[in-house]
Amino acid sequence: MKKTVNNFSERDLDRIIQMAWEDRTPFEAIDYQFEINESQVIELMRSNLKPTSFKLWRKRVNSKVSSKHLHKRNSEISRFRCSRQKAISGNKIAKRN
């Protein structure tokens, strides 16, 4: 059974938002880990980001749609995250207050 976007802890919300911003993380990885589909991720992003941040994210996702869906991505990409992922600390994404 799929979760609703209101049932996540602050930590989970931060991680979902971080994963959604990452170019190499497909929506399927978010679905696998948090049991929410692409439309729920969009809803979550819309409700947790500032309007301008959400618009930038949507523009970015639409321009990189081939890397955000496993069946459309290049077969040479075999990982969900960047090799420098350990160097990224904290969630710097602007959120609504």
pLDDT tens string 26-68: 889 999 999 999 999 999 999 999 999 999 999 888 876 556 6
Tell me the average pLDDT across 78-85: 54
95 bridge partner residues: 49
Which tops the pLDDT comparison, 35 or 3? 35
Q: Please tell me the distance from the alpha carbon of residue 64 to that of residue 48, in angstroms, as a whole number.
A: 21
Quote the CA–CA distance of 70 and 87 in Å, as a whole number. Answer: 25
What span, in angstroms and rounded, lies between the C-alpha atoms of 87 and 97?
Answer: 27
CA–CA separation, 31 and 20 (whole Å) = 11
pLDDT score of 89:
46
Instruction: Measure the CA–CA gap between 38 and 28, rounded to whole angstroms.
Output: 8
